[in-house]
Amino acid sequence: MFSAEISNNALLETFERWTDDFPSIIPWCVELGSSHSQFTVVIGTAIHGNETGSLPAVLNMIADLSEDNANLKARYFFILGNPDAVRQGTRFVERDLNRCFNLTDTKSLEGKRAIEIAKVLSEADLFIDYHQTNQPAVFPFFTFAYHEESYCWAAHMGGGEHFVTRDIKTAFSKEGLCGDEWLRQHGKPAVTLELGRAGLSRDAYQVTLSSLQRVIGFVETELEHGQKPQPSAPDSSRDLRFYQVVAKLPWPGDEAMLNPGFANFQYVKANEELGVVRPGEILRAPVEGFLMFPKYPKRDAQGKPIDHQDGDIVQIVQPLNEHPRRLWNH
Ligand SMILES: [Zn+2]
């Protein structure tokens, strides 16, 4: 069923054929199920163009649901976030789409796409957004601000046991709002799952497919019984493990470089060598914990990053000692 050999163009073509059969109110979005339903699920894939790992399972799920479309109880939107970036095999074309949900940019390709996607998101009762990291991850993980309903969905859908979270008052990035943040600001649940290293893989396929099956199976069963789909919080034996960012190491300059091979959720000790600030000056972990989003930008012949780096070279997370509900439930 799964093949890692399929090209990005072939994935796009297959998705586009589904949009012919099941069009929605915006381009590159498949709508299935009952348009009169009281419950709408929105699934996001390839919001970042190089993060195609969820796409084969999303296509499978669309094919499965299409066979029983007339009997579906919920309405489903499947959004392919950034088709132009998928075609180019890049994270984005002009701007990071997942920082455009302030919806103020009406000029750039991604700014315009975010405004389109928000039209669909404004219909959502639940948004699940699949992402991948640039480097490998020790395991898949959820990452989003703490919001009780979103957390219950994450725990219920499975696919990850680890949850990097924060107070909902803290923005993910100062560059702009993410799609899931935008929906939570409107009081609706939204979940982001990081599947592992960007690109097609059997793991990404299986995690996406099993989590989609679980969510959609639950939604359909609840609606069939006349209930609003809302999973209860997991008991402590099945609960997620919670982490928060305790250190952000800003880019020290063009000569900075991490040692090769760091992965998301790789453990480091306090003071452990992470790389160099510049030749001869060691970059060290300020605290112990697990590495998050280590950056290895492409570099020119002089070793200078090709794209300007203004985020963090790496972050460090640590387990939370308390349930985030007790820390941040506003
Ligand atoms: Zn992403």
pLDDT, the chain, mean: 95
Q: Tell me whether residue 3 is in a domain.
A: no
Q: Are residues 209 and 253 in the same domain?
A: no
- The rounded distance, in Å, linking the Cα atoms of 285 and 210 is 36
* Cβ atoms 101, 182 nearer than 8 A: yes
Residue 131 Cα to ligand 1 midpoint, Å, equals 4
Check pLDDT > 70 for residue 91: yes
Residue 47 Cα to ligand 1 midpoint, Å, equals 6
Residue 189 Cα to ligand 1 midpoint, Å, equals 18
Residue 226 Cα to ligand 1 midpoint, Å, equals 35
- The rounded distance, in Å, linking the Cα atoms of 74 and 69 is 10
Amino acid at 198: A
Domain count, the chain: 2
What dihedral angle (degrees, nearest 10) is formed by the CA atoms of 87, 196, 56, 71? -120
- Lay out the sheet containing 267-268: strands in order across: 29-33, 75-80, 40-45, 126-133, 190-197, 141-143, 162-164, 241-250, 312-319, 289-292, 267-268
Q: What average pLDDT does range 165-186 have in this prediction?
A: 91
In tens, the pLDDT along 3-20 reads 888 999 999 999 999 999
Residue 114 Cα to ligand 1 midpoint, Å, equals 14
Residue 309 Cα to ligand 1 midpoint, Å, equals 17
pLDDT score for 5: 87
Q: Are residues 264 and 129 in the same domain?
A: no
Residue 44 Cα to ligand 1 midpoint, Å, equals 10
Q: What average pLDDT does range 96-107 have in this prediction?
A: 96
Res. 310 pLDDT band, cuts 50 70 90: confident
pLDDT score for 325: 94
Residue 48 Cα to ligand 1 midpoint, Å, equals 5
Residue 5 Cα to ligand 1 midpoint, Å, equals 21
Domain limit, last residue, from 187, 208, 237: 237
Residue 132 Cα to ligand 1 midpoint, Å, equals 5
Question: Which domain range does residue 157 map to?
Answer: 8-237
Q: Tell me whether residue 80 is in a domain.
A: yes
